């Protein structure tokens, strides 16, 4: 068996210097039937390694549960990497950031307010111990010294930017080693002296995260780690998008030139991202540095492979640079053809609020939060039967968006992002309904792990409103609530389901045009593509070909805000929005 180690100046593979040329592909953001294609294209670009995070919250949706099926089959992913003759880096956190919901930490962890966040608190560590035991049971037999592809694992993730609990990092390290991990363990931090100092511990190899000025940033890393290989284990070659902003890109020639500088220093690299993929379902996170900013469904990242796995200009620019430092395969990826187009009418398939009445309700004095009602809910539906004069509805804090419905009629929306807390409402004769939407949990910073919902209660003209009936709706509940398709119309009102049928001649990828829709969630053949929103920047949802079937296919939408056109339309190319305002 082979051995991978850290030498005085280089990584060593069986005692010989080995430069790691890696690219990030998150298995959970890519349809598993596309894993081989994406990994092979990494090899054809000149890379020799594939890196991935592990999302604890997807693998363990409830305490004590664990799933490895479908796009969560980490073992199959790593075996696919090995089948392409490549090595692998695994970064299981437990915190991963990744612009992913709650930074990959399960929401159920924080239903107990005493549970710590990213520190040596006993309940937090006990949960991590079970998680890492399960991850390592997959990875340990696939390490390079056991004949597998895994050459490195990372402990935590950019911890120096968050905390300074060195004992916590050491405890995690002991968990890795105690579960049979023998390959070198690393940390990653931005190359700021204070972050590097706080983010590592003895026995762990420091790496850096940055996306420009490679020369000076490698100098900082070397100052804090005099020996061992230099590595940027997150070389940011693009950036993510948030709803309401522009589509972020970086120039291919400039990114390639800086990569050349990095490799010219003899450093190893992990391109973040090589292929970004998609935040399928409701998995995208959010940032909050004074303003809450939810992340888009697309995680294209302006990477060498776009969201649909097609080589970009950056792919070819990087391949040329990599060819100066390694032997390139003769084979290159085939050019991509335009995606199939077409359209079909969207037909109403029932009221969302009426359908939700079929779900069980809980009665409470105050409106419960998500942690109190259901930690993994996509929506909480609060209802109160009463009558009142017109007045001003006030909420302590909205997390994240609430539709206000009086006597069955929508009267307005309050948004966390806009710091909205009050709305003038008409007289109530029968009921007040508040539909609270979770738009993604914060994935970075001090608000990590925070609760969702209507925080601080609900008041009408200053008087508390008590005695509520609440229904919690998870992603899995939503699709089942859609009724059979009804009448077609020129537009869709808000808070309705809609269905459309369309034919597919083959399993080619498609791009669902959302430019004439409002805000909502889309499914095709039961597969949740993710959220769409007229705010942009993205104007298409990526449809992986493997979710389609020959002949008749069905799309379902949950339209929240209302759409000006009741048409399901597919376009030839993705549209991720303007590059600047």
* pLDDT in the model for residue 539: 98
Q: Rounded mean pLDDT of 197-221?
A: 97
pLDDT value at 439 more than 70: yes
Dihedral angle sign, alpha carbons of residues 532, 534, 535, 539: positive
Q: What is the DSSP letter of 339?
A: P
DSSP SS3 for 89:
strand
pLDDT value at 438 more than 70: yes
Nearest CA-CA partner of 318 in 299, 305, 308, 301: 305
Share of the chain above pLDDT 70, in %: 100
Number of H helices, E strands in the chain: 12, 32
Domain that holds residue 558: 342-349+477-571
* pLDDT in the model for residue 411: 98
Residues 160 and 309 in one domain: yes
Residues 410 and 388 in one domain: yes
Give residue-wise pLDDT tens across range 118-174: 999 999 999 999 999 999 999 999 999 999 999 999 999 999 999 999 999 999 999
Average pLDDT value over all residues in the chain: 97
pLDDT value at 319 more than 90: yes
- Confirm if 313 and 253 have CB atoms less than 8 A apart: no
pLDDT value at 2 more than 60: yes
pLDDT value at 581 more than 70: no
Q: Rounded mean pLDDT of 77-102?
A: 98
Residues 481 and 445 in one domain: no
Residue 309 inside a domain? The answer is yes
pLDDT value at 488 more than 90: no
Give catalytic residue positions.
158, 234
pLDDT-based confidence at residue 1 (cuts at 50, 70, 90): confident
Residue with tokens 């949960």: 127
Give residue-wise pLDDT tens across range 34-54: 999 999 999 999 999 999 999
Residue 471 inside a domain? The answer is no
Nearest CA-CA partner of 259 in 213, 292, 228: 213
Of 466, 500, 520, the one marking the end of a domain is: 466
CATH code (residue 132): 3.20.20.80
Residues 11 and 45 in one domain: yes
Q: Rounded mean pLDDT of 546-563?
A: 97
Nearest CA-CA partner of 127 in 103, 102, 110: 110
* DSSP bridge pairs for 4: 13
Nearest CA-CA partner of 140 in 111, 175, 115: 175
pLDDT value at 487 more than 90: no
Q: Which residues contact 200 (CB under 8 A, 6 or more apart)?
A: 159, 160, 169, 187, 189, 206
User: What's the pTM value of the predicted model, to 2 decimals?
Assistant: 0.97
Residue 330 inside a domain? The answer is no
Q: Rounded mean pLDDT of 86-111?
A: 98
pLDDT-based confidence at residue 362 (cuts at 50, 70, 90): very high
CATH code (residue 484): 2.60.120.260
pLDDT value at 554 more than 90: yes
């Amino acid at each position: 068996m082979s051995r991978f180690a850290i030498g005085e100046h280089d990584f060593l593979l069986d005692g010989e210097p080995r430069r790691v040329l890696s690219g990030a592909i998150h298995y959970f953001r890519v349809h598993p039937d596309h894993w081989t294609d994406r990994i092979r294209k990494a090899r054809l670009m000149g890379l020799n390694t594939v890196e991935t995070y592990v999302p604890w919250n997807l693998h363990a949706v409830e305490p004590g549960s664990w799933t490895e099926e479908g796009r969560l089959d980490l073992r199959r992913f790593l075996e696919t990497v090995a089948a392409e003759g490549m090595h692998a880096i695994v970064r299981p956190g437990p915190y991963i950031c990744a612009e992913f919901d709650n930074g990959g930490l399960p929401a159920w962890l924080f239903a107990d307010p005493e549970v710590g966040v990213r520190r040596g608190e006993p309940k937090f560590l006990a949960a991590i111990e079970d998680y890492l035991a399960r991850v390592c049971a997959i990875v340990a037999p696939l390490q390079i010294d056991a004949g597998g592809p895994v050459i490195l694992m990372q402990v935590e993730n950019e911890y120096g930017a968050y905390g300074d609990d060195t004992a916590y990092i050491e405890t995690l390290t002991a968990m890795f080693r105690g579960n049979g991990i023998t390959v070198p363990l690393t940390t990653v931090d931005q190359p700021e002296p204070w972050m590097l100092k706080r983010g590592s511990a003895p026995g762990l190899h420091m790496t850096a995260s940055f996306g420009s000025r490679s020369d000076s940033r490698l100098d900082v890393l070397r100052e804090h780690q005099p020996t061992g290989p230099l590595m940027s284990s997150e070389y940011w070659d693009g950036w993510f998008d948030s709803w309401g902003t522009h589509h972020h890109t970086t120039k291919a020639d400039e990114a390639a030139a800086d990569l050349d500088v990095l490799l010219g220093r003899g450093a190893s690299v992990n391109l973040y991202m090589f292929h970004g993929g998609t935040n399928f379902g409701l998995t995208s996170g959010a940032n909050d540095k004074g303003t809450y900013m939810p992340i888009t469904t697309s995680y294209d990242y302006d990477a060498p492979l776009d969201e649909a796995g097609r080589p970009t200009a950056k792919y070819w620019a990087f391949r040329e640079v990599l060819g100066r430092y390694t032997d390139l395969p003769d084979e290159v990826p085939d050019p991509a053809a335009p995606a199939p187009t077409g359209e079909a009418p969207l037909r109403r398939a029932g009221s969302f609020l009426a359908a939700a009445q079929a779900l069980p309700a809980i009665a409470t004095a105050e409106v419960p939060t998500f942690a109190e009602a259901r930690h993994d809910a996509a929506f909480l539906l609060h209802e109160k039967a009463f009558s009142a004069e017109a007045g001003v509805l006030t909420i302590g804090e909205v997390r994240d968006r609430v539709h206000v419905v009086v006597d069955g009629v929508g009267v307005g929306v309050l948004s966390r992002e806009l710091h909205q807390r009050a709305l003038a409402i008409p007289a109530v004769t029968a009921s007040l309904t508040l539909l609270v939407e979770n738009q993604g949990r914060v994935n970075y910073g001090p608000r990590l792990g925070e609760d969702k919902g209507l925080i601080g209660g609900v008041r009408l003209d200053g008087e508390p409103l008590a005695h509520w009936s609440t229904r919690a709706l998870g992603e899995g509940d939503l699709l089942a609530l859609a009724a059979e398709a009804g009448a077609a119309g020129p537009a869709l009102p808000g808070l309705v389901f809609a269905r459309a049928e369309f034919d597919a001649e083959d399993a080619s990828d498609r791009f669902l045009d959302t430019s004439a829709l409002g805000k909502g969630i889309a499914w095709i053949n039961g597969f949740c593509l993710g959220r769409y929103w007229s705010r942009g920047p993205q104007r298409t949802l990526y449809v992986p070909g493997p979710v389609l079937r020959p002949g008749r296919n069905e799309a379902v939408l949950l339209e929240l805000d209302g759409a000006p056109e009741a048409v399901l339309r597919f376009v030839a190319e993705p549209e991720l929005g303007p590059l600047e305002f």
